[in-house]
């Protein structure tokens, strides 16, 4: 029974008590005027106290309703709702209207993900039922990775069990750019196996609608520990989560910020992933002779930095005060690691906290490099920080 129903029933009993107190049967008509003079003021005080009690209960009930909506996400984005997950009711917020992915903005073309998602996406989109079993999901490549779920779990389990361990059973977890839900499922498995953390409520977004709306719920159902609850999984832009309420989640993270490709559109007919197209710019930086190319390269990286800042700013906004924000698998700038797709420098994070006025505890900032033991192919690294209390 909800608190609202409980308070309503209490109010009904109190109202009945008031009616009974006002009933002439409680005070015989043959009592003296002196007796009435004494009891009437007492009756008035009693009625007044009951009215005050009713108002207090109604205000408490209203406050509880608002608190529940905000904690569970019902207070944002044009209204919320509830979703039944087994015998559990999970509060959800309203997803935004669908938009078509912009390849230039998000960096990755949908075909790139579909190349590794064929074993899941095609089953979902072109068949009447999902044929992928748990075992099959654990051994396929996904979301642009060239490794499987089990291989990534082995790669990230030490990191996740250390830096996601602040979560407690029943907490709210958000992944930006959650893709098909594999990283969420992986994280949930590690937390359950290492810390016995269960019953987490998971939320997320991704720019590719088929991934987040169709495949992710299936993947989570198959791979997430028993008791996991699914909140809102929305198609949306990770740099603009205005439909997600602020100060809501116990941890917010992303498994990868997809860098912009050629953000200033310097290269004509740019082909995604063609890092050689920028070699002239990078060489200009190395020799410091070509002022025009040096300037272009600097402006190009500043645009990249701003893109990362927008993404991270949203993660900071939606997490609760004092709670962690985590960014995984960050690439270095294109000219620092020519074999990768681009990113931001490790030194950028300290300056970004001040420059973008992030509500982050500077002392909490931790950068962890991926080593050969963690199969870091390029110069990737993870970032951990906490929102200020």
- The pairing of strands 88-93 and 229-235 is unpaired
Integer Cα distance of 272 and 279 in angstroms: 15
Is 104 or 238 the better-scoring residue by pLDDT? 238
Using 50, 70 and 90 to split pLDDT, how confident is the model at 109?
Answer: very low
Using 50, 70 and 90 to split pLDDT, how confident is the model at 56?
Answer: low
Residues 6+ apart with CB under 8 A from 71: 91, 172, 248
Using 50, 70 and 90 to split pLDDT, how confident is the model at 69?
Answer: very low
Top mean-pLDDT range of 61-65, 138-142, 347-351: 347-351
Using 50, 70 and 90 to split pLDDT, how confident is the model at 371?
Answer: confident
382, 327 contact by CB (below 8 A): yes
Is 99 or 205 the better-scoring residue by pLDDT? 205
Average pLDDT of the chain is 75
Using 50, 70 and 90 to split pLDDT, how confident is the model at 260?
Answer: confident
pLDDT in tens, 154-197: 999 999 999 999 999 999 999 999 999 999 999 999 999 999 99
**pLDDT in the model for residue 254:** 98
The fold of the 90-387 domain, in CATH, is Rossmann fold (3.40.50)
Using 50, 70 and 90 to split pLDDT, how confident is the model at 211?
Answer: confident
């Amino acid at each position: 029974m909800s608190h609202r129903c409980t308070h309503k029933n209490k109010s009904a009993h109190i109202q009945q008590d008031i009616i009974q107190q006002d009933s002439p049967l409680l005070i015989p008509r043959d009592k003296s005027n002196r007796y009435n003079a004494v009891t009437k003021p007492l009756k008035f005080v009693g009625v007044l106290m009951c009215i005050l009690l009713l108002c207090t209960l109604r205000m408490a009930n209203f406050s509880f309703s608002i608190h529940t909506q905000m904690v569970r996400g019902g207070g944002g984005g044009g209204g919320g709702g509830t979703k039944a997950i087994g015998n559990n009711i999970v509060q959800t917020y309203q997803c935004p209207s669908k938009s078509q992915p912009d390849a230039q903005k998000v960096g990755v073309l949908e075909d790139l993900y579909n190349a590794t998602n064929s074993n899941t996406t095609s089953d979902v989109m072109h068949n009447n039922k999902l044929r992928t079993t748990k075992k099959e999901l654990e051994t396929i490549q996904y979301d642009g990775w060239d490794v499987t779920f089990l291989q990534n779990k082995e790669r990230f389990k030490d990191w996740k069990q250390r830096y996601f361990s602040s979560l407690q059973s029943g907490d709210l977890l958000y992944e930006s750019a959650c893709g098909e839900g594999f990283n969420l499922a992986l994280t949930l498995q590690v937390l359950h196996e290492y810390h016995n953390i269960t019953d987490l409520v998971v939320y997320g977004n991704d720019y590719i609608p088929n991934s987040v709306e169709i495949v992710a719920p299936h993947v989570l159902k198959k791979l997430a520990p028993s008791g996991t609850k699914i909140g809102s999984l929305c198609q949306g832009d990770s740099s603009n989560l205005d439909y997600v309420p602020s100060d809501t989640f116990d941890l917010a993270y992303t498994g990868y910020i997809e860098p912009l490709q050629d953000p200033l559109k310097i290269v004509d007919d740019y082909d995604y992933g063609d890092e050689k197209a920028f070699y002239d710019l990078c060489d200009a930086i190395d020799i410091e002779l070509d002022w025009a190319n040096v300037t272009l390269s600097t402006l190009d990286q500043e645009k990249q930095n701003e893109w990362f800042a927008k993404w991270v700013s949203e993660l900071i906004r939606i997490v609760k005060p004092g709670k962690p924000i985590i960014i995984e698998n960050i690439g270095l700038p294109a000219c620092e690691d020519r074999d990768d797709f681009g990113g931001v420098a490790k030194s950028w994070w300290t300056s970004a906290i001040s420059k973008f006025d992030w509500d982050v505890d500077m002392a909490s900032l931790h950068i962890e490099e991926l080593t050969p033991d963690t199969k870091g192919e390029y110069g990737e690294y993870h970032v951990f920080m906490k929102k200020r209390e």
